[in-house]
Amino acid sequence: MDGEKRNYLAGTPSGALERRSATIALGPLEVLVRITHSGVCGTDAHDRTANCGLGHEGVGLVERIGSAVTAVEAGARQVLTTAQSCGHCAECIAGYRHYCHRSVGQKYGAEEHGTFCDYAVRHQDYVNPIPDTLESKHAAPLVCAGITVYEALLAANTQSRDRVGVFGLGGLGHLAVMYARAMGCAVSVFSGSADKKEDASQLGADEFHVVNKTSKPPAVNNVNVLLLCGGDITDIGLFLPLLARRARIVPVVIQTKPLTIPYMEFILPGHRLISSLGATRENEQEALRFAARHSLQPWIQEYPFTEAGLTSAFAALDDGAIRYRAVLSKELGNAFSV
In degrees and rounded to multiples of 5, residue 224 shows phi and psi of -90, -35
Q: What is the mean pLDDT of residues 39-46?
A: 86
Categorize the per-residue pLDDT at 114 as very low, low, confident or very high, splitting at 50, 70 and 90. confident
User: Cα torsion for 96, 102, 103, 106, to the nearest 10°?
Assistant: 100
- What is the side-by-side strand order in the sheet with 223-228? 207-210, 186-191, 163-167, 223-228, 243-251, 272-273
Helix, strand, or coil here: 8? Answer: helix
State yes or no: pLDDT of 111 exceeds 50: no
* Distances in whole angstroms, Cα of residue 309 to Cα of each of 136, 297, 305: 18, 22, 6
First to last CA, the chain: 31
Report H helices in the chain: 7-11, 15-19, 42-46, 90-93, 136-141, 147-155, 171-182, 197-203, 263-267, 281-293, 307-318
Binned at pLDDT 50, 70 and 90, residue 44 comes out as confident
Please report the pLDDT score of residue 46 as a whole number: 76
Average pLDDT over residues 27-48: 91
- Whole-number pLDDT of residue 220: 87
Is pLDDT of 200 > 90? yes
The CA-based angle 202-205-208, given to 5 degrees, is 105
pLDDT at 107 (0 to 100): 46
**93: Cβ–Cβ under 8 A, 6 or more apart, which residues?**
none
Comparison of pLDDT for 54 and 141, the residue scoring more = 141
Mean pLDDT of 13-29: 69
Query: Lowest-pLDDT range, 33-42, 48-57, 273-282?
Result: 48-57
Q: pLDDT-derived band of residue 81, with 50, 70 and 90 as boundaries?
A: confident
Residue 20: pLDDT band (50, 70, 90) is low
CATH of domain 147-273: 3.40.50.720
pLDDT at 1: 35
* Window from 93-107, 172-186, 194-208, 281-295 with minimum mean pLDDT: 93-107
Is the pLDDT reported for residue 123 higher than 60? Answer: yes
Contact status, residue 214 vs residue 190, Cβ threshold 8 Å: no
pTM here? 0.90
What pLDDT, on the 0 to 100 scale, is given for residue 54? Answer: 86
Nearest C-alpha neighbor of 79 from the set 178, 14, 147: 147
The pLDDT assigned to 83 comes to 60
Q: What is the CATH number of domain 2-129+299-334?
A: 3.90.180.10
Indicate if the pLDDT at residue 9 is higher than 50: no
Name the average pLDDT for the chain: 88
Which pLDDT tens digit goes with each residue over 248-259? 999 998 888 899
pLDDT in tens, 268-325: 999 999 999 889 999 999 999 999 999 999 999 999 999 999 999 999 999 999 999 9
Q: What is the mean pLDDT of residues 54-82?
A: 94
Query: What residues does each domain of the chain span?
Result: 2-129+299-334, 147-273
For the segment 210-264, what is each residue's pLDDT rounded down to a tens digit? Answer: 987 777 778 889 999 999 998 788 899 989 999 999 999 999 988 888 999 999 9
